[in-house]
């Protein structure tokens, strides 16, 4: 009513008053002080934020900081542009913690990122070579002492079996004399060398791990900081052919798959991340393994989200209305108890509910003397997950509806009463529309949440029960749990595919949300 | 009177539905055998052993303190930031307003388990430059939570601002007040109920949040209740459900206290509106 | 009042500007410079910090050892409790350069961590390796290379209430017969506490079902010459696997009623400790419960089917790993191979939780202290290490669902074939 007609008028008023503030009214002393404070604060924060970025040469970071600072200065120092003053904190927070993750995920969808393909090719090569080093069977174990000579790293090696001492560098191994042996046969001092303490040595840990002292038939490498062993790298990368060779096989780099592949098609486990263009996005649409069940899962998913929203809203509003009466007593007590389901950690309560549904030992069957296999048949499993979500979600709606009821001006009700409207008419014509006005965006957001309510399904039914002849899609599967199982298995992750599929799920949610939104009064108000 | 009796009957039904599963948790908390036996409401040899062990064997009070600090800070900041944004959306007309509102709503529908990797990328960068807000810092996670909460709370608060007649702030401005003053002196006091409810909702959502906290708050002193308690269940073959249930119940205590405290504003809003309106 | 108070304070500052100035920045950078962070512990660049990730219990036990090591070597040690999703969190954090130096975890992570290049091999001498029990040594060996220092072994066994069933059953059929007799006599409510469903979710529990499946003649993966499981030889869907599941189905809900989907590891244990069943299939993690409840019990290997193969349960091995992307790889190797591999650590870990130690000397110590350790060791003799190959990812889901279908009483053959097909398809994708 009032809301729909105010905006236009309000708009003009707002702009006018802003201008008046800036132009006609001379800035008061307080205003100047505030502006100087704001300037100081923004600059101070900007400098604090920029210092480490400049120090580490992170120019992208500096640019972002400069941009943000510019926006803040612009917003808070000009007397105009009033809305931005109120919106800037929200904007910053959303960009950093909501928009960036979405964009990042979308970029992953264009790659093969996932277990076995997380890092760069360089990292993969390093991992392949490191893990191929085998200890020479029966070779000596050396006592290692890390030392330096002219700041170059040296391994002082004692062979207790032979009673010999050596100095090893990247150039090779050399026998040395004049050493002092400590407990355990380690060299504690040697002429011409400075022995490093553990702390000093660990500071140069990367060099120590990388140092291989070449000897006949392999190299001596460190094992920790006090032992060394002779071993041989079975695999080596050769930049000339862009391949890994060893053990009589050659694995050639395949830049499309992001792994080293041998002639017989077998590949080394360590791969790297490569761009795959739109193939993940295409696979999600065209691969029959992936899209076989999408239609049925989607239908249930939609029903689930709508039903949860409707049920929780109905029970929440009903509860709020029950207490919305001047003569009602004990309201605080009731309210506190009703909010409890929402106050308990949701994941814990989902596990509890799952146990309540247990056929033989669950409280529900015992209380009512039943022997229903609640989570074992499609229909009862679906009822069960709805009931659980109703329990978890209605206190939220109850709270919001309670708050909304308080703000409905009493005059409206009185006016309606004077007009002789019955209780039901008052509810239908006055209370409900006003409630919905306040609740509408929350209903949409609750829909969006429940459409992707991963825990609500996964912790209770894991998507089951599954038809025995096809264990890929279960009766209570949502798109998100179905996606999760396809893309993640139980522990392995395929981020690329998961991202591609989640983009589709996300688009569906967004489209439905916007459509649902247009149909509410809230959107009319926005228009 | 008959009307009230009917209301009480309905209230008891709804309350029973809400409370019954929690009674079951209470029984698990009192059950000396650390499993959720699911068999009945009265365990054999009930006692407070789980509670005592929880307090003695785990840094329970550290978790508790962290949770209350994180949730309290998040609630305050999220409501403050959301109220500002809501005011702009409710009282100004500007280019991109509608798009902004829709974005706020839609952006939150993104599945969270996928967001962990990019969030880690952000926090890793933040840790390198500003460790105060980085990994294992309560402050960083508070900001992250606030970022996750502003969207829906902006909407919630905006809805209520819309229902406060603009004539009221118009009147203020005719008296020579600025937008800011109108916001602070008229809109905010009238919106006390929704601010209280928003704060409560954020508090609850944050204190129960697990996924993000388990990844970003792993340090010994930084863990929250949700993460700490789940640690008791983490070894799935050796779940200590008794201690876990006891901890779960204690987790609800601050929430209930906050709710008790805020209830008065929820009701207060009604009378304030009546007097000033 | 605090919530409202602050909202108003922020807004008041905005108002003070008289239509312009003030800052209403309650967000990202507003309160940054003044606030000290209580929980932040920026890594000091002066001394190296050895970071160790462990679960709650292990972190408590390892703390004194890590601190002693740190003190002795002039570095600092930081033990971080990672409560859940340890493997995933480790992968994410390591990839971002924020992972630990040492990770405490389960051996079946090895395949995945190696393909991601996130753990380093540990070069132990033959003598050192010989100090570990066979199954532990096999478990941490992957692709011919040792990737972890094992410290504990876990496996399933049969708990028996000796008051109700004095004799250990020789076969699983005998066990069921005894259970049925006790149930008919009204002494127990359930034939056997056999966890069929996973604790975390309404699906089957491959881990607990594996002894019966192998005893019925089934297998998951064949073995490669080097002992690693061979993904090319996948056994689900073969006639042997169908036969195995037929025997399981005969004990299921439409058969003898011994195996039911309503059993989880939790309620099966509660059933046993309450004396409502005479048998329980569980691991050493249930010893504490059984003792606390004061049940008279004995532990024996899970019996095989009559005329069947031995019941080969999965053996899980707990181990220490050195992170390949840690900042102190050399120091971490030193700590893992010299400190954590010591018998003192193994004994302390055993004292904290009675799991069979992997180190032979510690095992002797544990067996002396606790007779049940030797019983679990005997039960582990037929066991196989839980496959550590990344391809296991493809197995869990379909196999879990298959267990549910069979125990529920669905036709066995199509269910097994469907699961085999699903696994093969997933393998194609993973491989």
Number of separate helices (H) and strands (E) present in chain C: 17, 15
Q: Chain C contact for B134, CB < 8 A?
A: yes
| The pairing of beta strand A236-238 with beta strand A152-159 | unpaired
Residue C181 in domain? yes
Q: State the angle between helix axes of B192-207 and B138-163 in degrees (0 to 180), rounded to the nearest 10.
A: 150
C115 and C183 share one domain? no
C296 and C402 share one domain? yes
Among A300, A142, A303, A295, smallest CA distance to A229 is for A142
CA distance to A305, A338, A396, A444, per residue, from A310 (Å): 9, 18, 13, 11
pLDDT at C259: 94
For residue A337, give the DSSP letter.
H
pLDDT at A417: 72
Q: Chain C contact for B117, CB < 8 A?
A: yes
Q: Chain B contact for A107, CB < 8 A?
A: no
d(CA A317, CA C177): 56
- Is C298 in a helix, a strand, or coil? strand
C150 and C62 share one domain? yes
d(CA C361, CA C99): 32
- Is A228 in a helix, a strand, or coil? strand
C217 and C303 share one domain? yes
Q: Which of B27, B28, B33, B147 to mutate to test the interface with C (most CBs of C within 10 A)?
A: B33
**pLDDT tens, residue order, chain B (277 aa):** 566 788 889 999 999 999 988 988 888 888 776 555 545 566 666 778 788 888 887 788 888 899 999 999 999 999 999 999 999 998 888 888 888 888 887 787 776 666 777 888 888 888 888 888 877 788 888 988 998 888 888 888 888 888 778 887 777 777 777 777 778 887 888 888 888 888 988 988 888 887 788 888 877 678 888 888 877 765 555 557 778 888 888 888 888 888 888 777 765 443 333 333 2
pLDDT one-digit tens code per residue, A201-246? 888 888 898 899 998 878 899 988 888 998 888 898 988 889 998 8
C339 and C295 share one domain? no
Name the pTM for this structure: 0.82
DSSP A305-336: HHHHHHHHHHHHHHHHHHH-STT--SHHHHHH
- Is B115 in a helix, a strand, or coil? helix
C146 and C163 share one domain? no
Interchain CB distance below 8 Å, A197 and C29: no
Which residue is closest to B153 within chain A, CA to CA?
Answer: A442
Q: For chain C, what is the radius of gyration of the CA atoms?
A: 26
pLDDT at B43: 61
Interchain CB distance below 8 Å, A93 and B150: yes
Output phi, psi for C12, to 5 deg. Answer: -60, -40
Residue C26 in domain? no
CA distance to A105, A486, A502, per residue, from A282 (Å): 16, 15, 13
- Note whether A222 and A205 are within 8 A (CB): no
Residue C208 in domain? yes
C118 and C175 share one domain? no
C-alpha triplet B65, B54, B137: angle, nearest 5°: 30
Residue C22 in domain? no
Range of the domain at C306: 157-312+390-430
Average pLDDT over residues A454-468: 83
Q: Chain C contact for A383, CB < 8 A?
A: no
C63 and C97 share one domain? yes
d(CA B4, CA A326): 10
Residue C94 in domain? yes
| A contact chains, 3+ CB pairs < 8 A | B, C
pLDDT at A360: 79
CA distance A220 to chain C (A): 12
Q: Long-range contact list for A419-425, CB < 8 A, 24+ apart? A: none
Q: Compare CB distances from B80 to C10, C22, C266 and report the shortest one's residue.
A: C10
Interchain CB distance below 8 Å, C123 and A460: no
CA distance B65 to chain A (A): 17
10 Å CB burial of residue B5 (0-12, 13-18, 19+) is exposed
Distant-in-sequence, close-in-space partners of A36: CB < 8 Å, separation ≥ 6: none
10 Å CB burial of residue A24 (0-12, 13-18, 19+) is exposed
Would you state the structure tokens that stand for residue B151, as one six-digit string? Answer: 């969207």
Average pLDDT over residues A23-49: 76
- Note whether A298 and A479 are within 8 A (CB): yes
Average pLDDT over residues A335-360: 84
Alpha helices per DSSP H over C77-189: 86-95, 110-115, 126-130, 134-140, 172-184
Phi-psi region of A332 (alpha: psi -120 to 50; beta: other; left: phi over 0): alpha
For residue A374, give the DSSP letter.
T
d(CA A148, CA C383): 49
C118 and C266 share one domain? no
Q: Which of A406, A409, A462, A510 to mutate to test the interface with B (most CBs of B within 10 A)?
A: A406
C-alpha triplet C193, C194, C195: angle, nearest 5°: 115
Among C370, C404, B241, smallest CA distance to A463 is for C404
C-alpha triplet A165, A170, A173: angle, nearest 5°: 25
Residue where the block lists tokens 């500003």: B130
Distant-in-sequence, close-in-space partners of A432: CB < 8 Å, separation ≥ 6: none
Is the pLDDT higher at C329 or at A441?
Answer: C329
Number of separate helices (H) and strands (E) present in chain A: 22, 15
Residue C21 in domain? no
Residue C38 in domain? no
pLDDT at C114: 92
Would you state the structure tokens that stand for residue A269, as one six-digit string? Answer: 């486990």
Would you state the structure tokens that stand for residue A301, as one six-digit string? Answer: 């998913």
What CATH number should be reported for the domain holding residue C277?
3.40.190.10
Q: Compare CB distances from C3 to B75, B215, B241 and report the shortest one's residue.
A: B75
- Note whether B166 and A10 are within 8 A (CB): yes
β-bridge partners, C81 = C54
**B4 C-beta neighbours (distance < 10 Å), count:** 13
d(CA C80, CA C104): 11
Structural domain tally of chain C?
Answer: 2
> Computed from CA positions of residues A256, A262, A264, A265, in that sequence, does the dihedral angle turn out positive or negative?
negative
Would you state the structure tokens that stand for residue A370, as one six-digit string? Answer: 């039943």
Q: State the angle between helix axes of B60-91 and B225-234 in degrees (0 to 180), rounded to the nearest 10.
A: 130
DSSP B212-247: HHHHH--STTT--HHHHHHHHHHSGGG--HHHHHHH
Among A325, A344, A323, smallest CA distance to A393 is for A344
- Note whether B134 and B123 are within 8 A (CB): yes
All domains of chain B, ordered by start, with CATH?
1-47 (no CATH), 60-276 (1.10.3720.10)
d(CA B66, CA B213): 11
C255 and C342 share one domain? no
Distant-in-sequence, close-in-space partners of C62: CB < 8 Å, separation ≥ 6: C52, C54, C79, C104, C340, C345, C349
pLDDT at C6: 31
Would you state the structure tokens that stand for residue A136, as one six-digit string? Answer: 């020479």
On the question of pLDDT at A20 being above 60, the answer is: no
d(CA C387, CA C84): 21
Q: Which of B193, B238, B247 to mutate to test the interface with C (most CBs of C within 10 A)?
A: B238
Q: Compare CB distances from C37 to B76, B132, B236 and report the shortest one's residue.
A: B132
Residue C425 in domain? yes
Q: For chain A, what is the radius of gyration of the CA atoms?
A: 34
Give the length of chain A.
527
- Note whether C423 and C399 are within 8 A (CB): yes
ipTM of the shown complex: 0.82
- Note whether C201 and A462 are within 8 A (CB): yes
- Note whether A385 and A456 are within 8 A (CB): yes
Q: Chain C contact for A489, CB < 8 A?
A: yes
C172 and C302 share one domain? yes
CA distance to A269, C150, C224, per residue, from C144 (Å): 14, 16, 11
pLDDT one-digit tens code per residue, A281-325? 888 788 776 777 888 899 999 999 999 999 999 999 999 988 887
Q: Chain C contact for B56, CB < 8 A?
A: no
Distant-in-sequence, close-in-space partners of A454: CB < 8 Å, separation ≥ 6: A478, A480, A481, A484, B111, B112, B113
C102 and C202 share one domain? no
Distant-in-sequence, close-in-space partners of C91: CB < 8 Å, separation ≥ 6: A115, A118, A493, C112, C113, C116, C118
Spans in chain C with pLDDT lower than 70: 1-47, 199-202, 428-431
């Amino acid at each position: 009513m009032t809301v729909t007609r105010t905006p236009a008028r309000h708009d003009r008023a707002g702009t006018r008053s802003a201008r008046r503030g800036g132009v006609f009214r001379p800035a008061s002393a307080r205003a100047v002080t505030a502006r100087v404070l704001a300037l100081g604060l923004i600059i101070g924060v900007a400098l604090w934020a920029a210092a480490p970025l400049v120090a580490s040469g992170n120019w992208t970071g500096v640019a972002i900081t400069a941009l943000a600072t510019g926006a803040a200065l612009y917003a808070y120092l000009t007397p105009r542009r009033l809305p931005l003053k109120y919106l800037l904190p929200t904007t910053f927070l959303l960009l950093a913690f909501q928009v960036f993750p979405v964009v990042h995920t979308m970029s992953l969808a264009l790659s093969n990122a996932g277990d076995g393909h997380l890092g760069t090719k360089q990292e993969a090569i390093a991992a392949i070579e490191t893990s191929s080093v085998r200890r020479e069977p029966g070779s000596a174990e050396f006592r290692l002492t890390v030392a330096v000579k002219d700041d170059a790293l040296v391994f002082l090696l004692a062979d207790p079996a032979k009673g010999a001492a050596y100095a090893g560098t990247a150039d090779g191994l050399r026998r040395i004399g004049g050493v002092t042996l400590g407990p355990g046969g380690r060299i504690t001092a040697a002429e011409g060398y400075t022995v490093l303490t553990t702390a000093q040595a660990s500071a140069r840990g990367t060099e120590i791990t990388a140092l291989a002292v070449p000897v006949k038939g392999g190299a001596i490498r460190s094992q920790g900081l006090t032992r060394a062993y002779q071993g041989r790298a079975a695999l080596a990368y050769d930049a000339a052919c862009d391949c890994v060779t060893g053990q009589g096989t050659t694995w050639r780099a395949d830049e499309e798959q992001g792994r080293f592949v041998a002639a017989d098609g077998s590949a080394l486990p360590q791969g790297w991340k490569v761009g795959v263009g739109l193939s993940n996005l295409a696979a999600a649409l065209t691969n029959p393994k992936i899209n076989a069940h999408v239609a049925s899962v989607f239908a249930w998913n939609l029903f689930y989200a709508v039903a949860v929203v409707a049920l929780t809203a109905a029970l929440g509003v009903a509860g709020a209305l029950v207490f919305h009466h001047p003569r009602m007593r004990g309201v605080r007590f009731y309210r506190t108890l009703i909010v409890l389901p929402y106050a308990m950690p949701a994941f814990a309560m989902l596990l509890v509910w799952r146990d309540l549904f247990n056929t033989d030992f669950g409280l529900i069957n015992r209380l009512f003397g039943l022997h229903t296999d609640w989570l074992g048949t499609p229909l009862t499993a679906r009822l069960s997950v709805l009931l659980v979500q109703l329990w978890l979600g209605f206190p939220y709606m109850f709270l919001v509806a309670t708050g909304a009821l308080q703000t409905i001006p009493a005059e409206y009700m009185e006016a309606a009463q004077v007009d002789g409207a019955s209780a039901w008419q008052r509810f239908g014509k006055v209370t409900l529309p006003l409630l919905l006005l306040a609740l509408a965006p929350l209903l949409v957001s609750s829909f969006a949440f429940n459409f992707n309510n991963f825990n609500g399904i996964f912790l209770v039914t894991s998507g089951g029960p599954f038809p025995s002849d096809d264990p890929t899609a279960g009766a209570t599967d949502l798109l998100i749990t179905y996606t999760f199982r396809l893309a993640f298995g139980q522990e392995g992750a395929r981020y690329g595919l998961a991202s591609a599929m989640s983009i589709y799920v996300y688009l569906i949610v967004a489209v439905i949300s916007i459509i649902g939104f247009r149909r509410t009064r809230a959107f009319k108000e926005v228009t | 009177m008959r009307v009230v009796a009917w209301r009480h009957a309905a209230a008891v039904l709804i309350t029973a539905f809400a409370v019954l599963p929690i009674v079951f948790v209470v029984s698990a908390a009192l059950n000396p055998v650390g499993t959720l036996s699911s068999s009945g409401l009265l365990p054999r040899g009930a006692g407070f052993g789980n509670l005592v062990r929880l307090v003695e064997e785990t840094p329970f009070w550290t978790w508790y303190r962290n949770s209350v600090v994180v949730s309290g800070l998040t609630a305050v900041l999220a409501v403050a930031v959301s109220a500002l944004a809501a005011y702009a959306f409710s009282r100004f007309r500007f280019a991109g307003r509608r798009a902004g509102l829709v974005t706020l709503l839609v952006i939150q529908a993104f599945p969270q388990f996928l967001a962990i990797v990019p969030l880690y990328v952000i926090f890793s960068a933040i840790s390198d430059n500003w460790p105060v807000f980085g990994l294992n810092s309560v402050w960083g996670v508070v900001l992250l939570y606030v970022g996750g909460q502003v969207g829906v709370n902006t909407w919630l608060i905006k809805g209520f601002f819309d229902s406060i007649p603009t004539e009221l702030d118009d009147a203020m401005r005719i008296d020579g007040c600025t937008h800011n003053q109108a916001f602070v002196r008229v809109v905010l006091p009238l919106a006390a109920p929704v601010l209280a409810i928003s704060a409560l909702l954020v508090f609850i959502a944050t204190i129960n949040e697990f996924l993000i906290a388990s990844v970003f708050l792993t340090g010994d002193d930084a863990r929250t209740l949700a993460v700490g308690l789940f640690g008791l269940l983490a070894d799935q073959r050796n779940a200590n459900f008794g201690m876990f249930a006891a901890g779960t119940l204690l987790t609800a205590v601050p929430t209930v206290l906050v709710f008790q405290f805020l209830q008065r504003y929820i009701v207060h809003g009604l009378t304030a509106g009546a007097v000033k309106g | 009042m605090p919530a409202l108070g602050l909202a108003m304070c922020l807004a008041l500052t905005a108002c003070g500007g008289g239509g312009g100035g003030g800052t209403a920045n309650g967000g990202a950078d507003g309160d940054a410079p003044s606030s000290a962070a209580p929980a932040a512990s920026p890594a000091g660049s002066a001394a190296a910090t050895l970071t160790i990730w462990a679960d709650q219990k292990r972190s408590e036990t390892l703390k004194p050892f890590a601190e002693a090591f740190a003190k002795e070597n002039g570095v600092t040690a930081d033990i971080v409790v990672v409560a859940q999703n340890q493997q995933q969190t480790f992968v994410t954090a390591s990839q971002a350069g924020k992972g630990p130096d040492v990770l405490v975890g389960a051996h079946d992570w090895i395949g995945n961590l190696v393909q991601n290049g996130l753990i380093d091999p540990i070069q132990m001498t033959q003598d050192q390796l010989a100090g570990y029990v066979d199954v532990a040594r096999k478990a941490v060996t992957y692709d011919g290379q040792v990737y972890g220092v094992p410290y504990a072994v876990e496996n399933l066994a049969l708990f028996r209430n000796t008051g109700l069933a004095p004799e250990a059953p020789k076969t699983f059929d005998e066990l069921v017969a005894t259970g049925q007799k006790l149930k008919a006599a009204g002494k127990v409510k359930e034939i056997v506490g056999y966890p069929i469903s996973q604790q975390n979710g309404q699906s089957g529990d491959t881990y607990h079902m594996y002894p019966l499946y192998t005893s019925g003649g089934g297998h998951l993966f064949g073995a490669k010459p080097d002992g690693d499981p061979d993904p090319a030889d996948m056994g689900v869907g073969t006639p042997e696997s169908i036969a195995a599941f037929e025997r399981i189905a005969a004990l299921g809900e439409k058969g003898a009623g011994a195996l039911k989907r309503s059993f989880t590891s939790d309620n099966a244990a509660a059933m046993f400790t309450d004396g409502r069943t005479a048998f329980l299939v569980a691991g050493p993690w249930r010893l504490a419960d059984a003792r606390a409840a004061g049940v008279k019990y004995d532990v024996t290997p899970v019996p095989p089917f009559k005329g069947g193969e031995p019941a080969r349960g999965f053996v899980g091995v707990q181990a220490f790993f050195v992170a390949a992307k840690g900042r102190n790889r050399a120091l971490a190797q030193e700590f893992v191979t010299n400190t954590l591999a010591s018998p003192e650590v193994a004994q302390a870990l055993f004292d904290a939780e009675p799991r069979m130690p992997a180190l032979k000397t510690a095992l002797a110590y544990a067996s002396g202290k606790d007779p049940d350790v030797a019983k679990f060791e005997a039960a582990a003799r037929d066991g196989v290490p839980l496959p550590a190959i990344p391809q296991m990812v493809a197995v869990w889901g379909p196999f879990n669902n298959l267990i549910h279908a069979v125990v529920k009483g669905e036709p066995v053959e199509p269910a097994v074939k469907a699961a085999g097909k699903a696994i093969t398809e997933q393998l194609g994708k993973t491989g």
